[in-house]
Every structure is written in C-alpha cells, then in structure tokens.
Amino acid sequence: MPDQTQPIRVDIVSDVVCPWCAIGYYQLARAVQETGIDVDIHWHPFELNRHMAQEGENLREHLAAKYGTTLEGSIKARARLTEMGAALGFTFNYADDMRMYNTFRAHQLIDWAEEHGKAHEAKLALFAAFFTRREDVADIDVLVEVAGQIGLDRDAARAMLDSGERAEKIREKEQFWTSRGVQGVPAMIFERQHLVTGAQGEGNYANILKQLRTVVA
C-alpha cells in the first residue's frame, strides 16, 4: 500500500505579477491546512508580458490596452482581489500609479533559489514585493533585496542576475509548459497528470487533494 503520509506533488506554472496566481496558491494552502494533506510544491515560470520593457507600464493603462478593461471594471476587480486576498491572509495594495513589470529576471531568481532549497520562499516573497509593497520586480536591486530577505547571499544573487546565466534555462522551461498546452496561469498539475487551471477556491482544492489521497490509498 502506498504511503499516505507522502505529500502530493503540485507543479504550479505562474507569474509573480499574476494576482490570480497568488490567490490560487493561498487557496491551495488553506486547503492543505483544512485537509491535513501535505503537498510538495514546484514552481515553474510563465511570463504574462514577455516583451514588456524593463521600465514597465502603468498597470491600469496596461490592462486597458491588453484586455480592454474599463476604469470601472479595474476598480471593481481590484476591490474584489483585495477582499479575497485579505480573507486568505495576503495583502493586495493597489494604487493608481502602480506599474506592471517585466518578470524575466524574477523567474531567474526563483530558479537560482531552487538550487538552495528556497524557490518557494522566493516566489512568495516576490508576490509580496509586487502586490503588497508595489516594488519593481524587474530591478536587480529589488531582487537582490528579496534574496537577502529569504536568507540567500545578496552578492551571489547580484552576480547571477548581472550575468544572465539562467536566461536560456528559463526560456526552455517556459517553452516546456507552453508546448504542453499551458496558455494561461495559474496552472496546477497534481501528481504530474491532473491539470487544473485558474484559482479554483479552497473547497475545490480540498476535494482534489482528498480524491488524490483516496486514489493512492
């Protein structure tokens, strides 16, 4: 009989500037708390705005241009996300001058952090850096500070980011997931075979975990 104490593997394809990725993760985390079924999370890169300039764009203007989001729609969406985040213990701190940024370097930092057993911490720290503190997650100084916050060597992080040594690896990882049909995020793959897209809610995630645990029992 398989060991039911083994965590369920969850691969999460996401971007650090995707609000529903943050919501989806924290909903999953609540489901883990509620069910007592542990998960083994592996983060994978996805860029919502791969060709965005380093200086970024005003977030509201960006959403209007990309998705046709109206001012009224933007206000409602931000309020909804802020309320949902607060209920999950995460702070969305939107402002009219908030900007959207290129996340290619942020994904390189997460990939590097993974080698030090800190990918999960890096991902959550970057969610907070962007959504809570409204920091520029394309800026190397910001990323180096995030590395230090999670206990990694700042100088080593800066050297890695300056060199761009992980750029090709990130592109390969992105291609891997898009070639397998991942076109939007969050995308969660449970036990390497069950793809679930979008933020599905605590209850649905709890049911998924319970069903998978039953299957391996």
How does DSSP assign 131-197, residue by residue?
IIT---TT-HHHHHHHHHHTT--HHHHHHHHHHTTTHHHHHHHHHHHHTTT--SS-EEEETTTEEEE
User: At residue 94, does pLDDT exceed 60?
Assistant: yes
pLDDT band at 4 (very low <50, low <70, confident <90, very high): low
What pairs with residue 189 in β-bridges? 11, 195
Q: H/E element holding 73?
A: helix 71-88
> Can you give the pLDDT at residue 100?
96
More confident residue, 6 or 216: 6
60: containing domain:
8-216
What is the maximum span of the chain, computed from C-alpha positions, in angstroms? 56
| For residue 199, pLDDT beyond 80 | yes
- For residue 1, tell me if it sits in a domain: no
Number of other residues whose CB lies within 10 A of the CB of residue 67 = 10
CATH code assigned at 202: 3.40.30.10
Q: Is residue 140 part of a domain?
A: yes
| Total tally of structural domains belonging to the chain | 1
129 in a structural domain? yes
Instruction: Kindly state whether residue 3 falls inside one of the protein's structural domains.
Output: no
112-161 residue pLDDT tens: 999 999 999 999 999 999 999 999 999 999 999 999 999 999 999 999 99
Evaluate whether residue 2 is within a structural domain: no
Sheet with 39-45, side-by-side order of all strands: 39-45, 8-14, 187-190, 194-197
Position 3 pLDDT exceeds 60: no
66: confidence class by pLDDT, cuts 50, 70, 90: confident
Q: How many CA atoms, within 13 angstroms, populate the side-chain half-sphere of residue 75? A: 3
